[in-house]
Amino acid sequence: MWDESMMYDAVREIRTKTTAYLGVGAIEKIDDIFAEFTQEGITAVLCVTGGHSYKLSGAWDKVEAAAAKHGLRLSLYNKVTPNPTTASVDEAAAQGREAGAGAVLCIGGGSPIDCGKSAAILLANPGKTAEELYCYKFTPRTALPIVAINLTHGTGSEVNRFAVATITHLNYKPAIAYDCIYPRYAIDDPALMSGLSPNQTRYVSIDAVNHVVEAATTTCTNPFAVMLAAETVRLVHANLPRIIAHPDDLKARYDLAYAAMMAGTAFDNGMLHLTHALEHPLSALKPTLAHGLGLAMLLPAVIEECYPARPQVMAHILKPIVPGLSGMPDEAPKVARAVEQWLFGLGVTEKLTSVGFTEADVETLCDLVEQTPSLGLLVSLAPVEGNRACIARIYRNSLVPMR
């Protein structure tokens, strides 16, 4: 059994920090949250979001009504793009500073939430820039209070201490992780997610699966992360086909939102390793590449590398996708191919060559994994030695479908 591989004499930290509201109608909790802000003397809130979904989802109407009721001024920054940049973080923080914001409200998926978290740090640390933050030139201890209204079921950022931004001129996409950017409150309302396109629905849910495959198999994982991983995979496997067929199925959206929340908590506890470390250079070089698609293209090759080091854990968490596993190291190729076929069955058939990467890009991608701040830490947490040969092999084995 997988739990026999857990080291009982290794002390692990188990984290659950954010108060999250889950369920249809959870957006109504924004009224209580704004009432609390008013009691604390906050008079203005910076709202960080993308261009359309904050309105189309219906979230903004609720936010505006609650703000008006409690006398809060809203400063709207709605320029966040997928794979947000440090320039966008600086711009959002400058707007918040001018507005006298005392808190940050993020509305959207991972990109607006990560941008808002980062801006919250800069607002509490005057004189600092986002590039300094993401190049680890300073270590923040404080940030403004953060609330995340999550509009996708994949990021997990609404319940953890992570954020990501791209430093465009360096082609770096680092991650940060600080206790000060745990959202105080998160809202996961499935009714706000029903407008996700079919591809967005696929990609964000695949992101959640990647979170837990990695979190359950790092060198610092804990049994809580493994438990969350198994349930996440079960729920995504059961509900993602349902929601692709019936986008308005709110029960299926609820289950996927819950799975993504668990996945965010899982990697807050177990961290991440190779799939995310190797995806970040992909979307740094091609900013229009959906993060979840990048992960999907890499996942089978990462599983093939890592399964022999954690066969019992992987067999346990992947059994809904690959039933009948015995947890033996030599199952790795079979499991990797089965996961790839599962992804193809969901309609995600792309590999790296499909989005413009070739064999000639592998060395550049390896360089970026080695050079980008924070990615070396993720690689070091993999259950196998993440040397350059291993990283290059994963990229090469992800160029085309497995044979």
β-partners of residue 49 are: 107
Q: Is the pTM of this model over 0.75?
A: yes
pLDDT score of 329: 97
Structure tokens belonging to residue 192: 């706000």
Decide: helix, strand or coil at residue 14: coil
Provide, rounded to the nearest whole percent, the portion of the chain with pLDDT above 90. 96
How far is the C-alpha of 385 from the C-alpha of 187, rounded, in Å?
38
How far is the C-alpha of 2 from the C-alpha of 340, rounded, in Å?
23
Judge residue 211's burial from the number of C-beta atoms within 10 Å of its C-beta, 0-12 exposed, 13-18 middle, 19 or more buried.
buried
pLDDT score of 1: 60
pLDDT at 400 > cutoff 80: yes
pLDDT digits (tens, 9 = 90+) for 70-115: 999 999 999 999 999 999 999 999 999 999 999 999 999 999 999 9
What is the CB neighbour count within 10 angstroms for residue 8? 8
14 falls in which pLDDT band (50, 70, 90)?
A: low
Q: Which residue has the tokens 């703000």?
A: 67
* Averaged pLDDT of the chain: 96
Helices vs. strands in the chain: H and E counts, helices first = 16, 8
pLDDT digits (tens, 9 = 90+) for 282-331: 999 999 999 999 999 999 999 999 999 999 999 999 999 999 999 999 99
How far is the C-alpha of 223 from the C-alpha of 156, rounded, in Å?
19
Q: Which residue has the tokens 């609404």?
A: 158
pLDDT score of 249: 95
How far is the C-alpha of 274 from the C-alpha of 295, rounded, in Å?
10
pLDDT at 11 > cutoff 80: no
pLDDT score of 403: 82
β-partners of residue 45 are: 74, 103
pLDDT digits (tens, 9 = 90+) for 167-214: 999 999 999 999 999 999 999 999 999 999 999 999 999 999 999 999
pLDDT digits (tens, 9 = 90+) for 113-153: 999 999 999 999 999 999 999 999 999 999 999 999 999 99
The closest alpha carbon to 37, from 171, 129, 144, 194, belongs to 144
pLDDT digits (tens, 9 = 90+) for 341-356: 999 999 999 999 999 9
How far is the C-alpha of 398 from the C-alpha of 403, rounded, in Å?
11
Domains of the chain: 26-188 (3.40.50.1970), 197-397 (1.20.1090.10)
pLDDT score of 212: 98
8 falls in which pLDDT band (50, 70, 90)?
A: low
Give me the half-sphere count of Cα atoms (radius 13 Å) on the Cβ side of residue 29.
Answer: 19
